[in-house]
Every structure is written in structure tokens, then in C-alpha cells.
Amino acid sequence: MKNTEKIDLIFKHFERHIKLSDTLKTELAQRIICKTFKKGELVHHATKVCNKSYFIQKGLMRAYFIKDGKEISEYFSAESEWCNSPRSLRTRQLDIYYIDAIEDVEAFCLSLVDLMYLFDHFPEMERYARLSMGTILGHFMERITSMRFTTAKEKYNHFLATYCDIHHRIPLGMIASYLGITQETLSRIRAKK
């Protein structure tokens, strides 16, 4: 696929939320970088401030943190979704999150500097950010409710509903850590389905 065809894909994504002027398209095209990551590759390290956001064309990424030497999955991002460390990107400070590629990934990358330029010069980009962040915030709120008030089986069912298109692509150990249960408990729940 040619670079211009790839850029058209992300334009179509933006246009589901906002109108893109020719000027904004030109600015986006100049700032977007195509990146690839191999399965298992670390995309972002928690010891660095997150200054990039990745829009996934193909593949699957995971944001996670490490507690007591164990990786705890926080969220998963797949095709047509953004992935970054939201708090670190917003505050320009260190955060707890690592990001890795669960599969080979092809993504568009926008740096924070470029995002800020686009927000400052194109008000419709701020509207886009609000709309897309609202979706992420909704997922986090649902996750918090699920973690606090449900059984392991209900947590798993909520996970299946939240990640209905990609759950089969995520390794069971990562799902278990996301749910806050052991892999053995997850296997028992899955065996009863």
C-alpha cells in the first residue's frame, strides 16, 4: 500500500468525527509518520515521558504496568484505535505504563509537539480529541465498575463484551492480569462457557 493510500485511511477515521479541510489534511500528512513494531517489541518504556501517540492500522498493542515483578495489563488497542500513556502524554511527566506490541503492528505516529500544533491551529482537532477521549474514558469507567463490583465470571463477561472483536487475539495470561485473577481461575471460567 502506498503512503498516500495509508494516509487516506487515517483521514477517513478523522472524518467520522470532524470535517477535514484541505489545509488540515496537508498538515496531518506532513506530521504523520508510519511506524512498524514486531510482536513483543516494547513501544514505550515507563521510565520515559510519553511524547507519541499511535493510531493502529494493523495489529494489537497493550498498555501495562509492573507490580511486584508481574505485568498487569491495563488496556488493549487494536485497529482504528489510538494507543499511548494518556496521563504521561497529557502532563508530560513519567507514568507507570509500558506499551508493547502483542502482534506485529503497523501504526501512524503523531508526536506531542505535532499534536499540540494541530490543536492550536485547528479547533476541529480539539473537538476530535474530546470525542475520542470520551470513548477511552468510558472504557476506563466501565472497567473500574467491573473490577470493584463483580465476580470473576462477570469480569470476564464484561471483558468479552468490551473487547468483542479482539479478545481471541489476546494471550490468556494477559487477559487474566487485566481481570485481576489467576490464569487457572480464568481457565475454569472459560471451561464452563
Name the one residue in this structure whose C-alpha cell is 490464569.
Answer: 183
Q: pLDDT, tens digit, for every residue of 86-116?
A: 889 889 999 999 999 999 999 999 999 999 9
Q: What is the per-residue DSSP string for the chain?
A: --HHHHHHHHHHHHHTTSPPPHHHHHHHHHH-EEEEE-TT-EEE-TTS---EEEEEEES-EEEEEEETTEEEEEEEE-TT-EES-HHHHHHTS--S-EEEESS-EEEEEEEHHHHHHHHHH-HHHHHHHHHHHHHHHHHHHHHHHHHHH--HHHHHHHHHHHTTTTGGGS-HHHHHHHHTS-HHHHHHHHHT-
Phi, psi of 13 (to 5 degrees): -60, -50
Q: What is the pLDDT of residue 1?
A: 45
Q: pLDDT, tens digit, for every residue of 46-100?
A: 999 999 999 999 999 999 999 999 999 998 999 988 899 988 988 999 999 999 9
| CA–CA distances in Å: residue 151 to residues 47, 175, 181, 184, 189 | 34, 15, 10, 15, 11
- Catalogue all structural domains in the chain, each as residue range(s) with its CATH number: 3-149 (2.60.120.10)
102 versus 128: the higher-pLDDT residue is 102
State whether residue 58 is helix, strand or coil.
strand
Q: pLDDT, tens digit, for every residue of 135-177?
A: 667 667 777 877 776 888 988 998 898 888 999 999 999 999 9
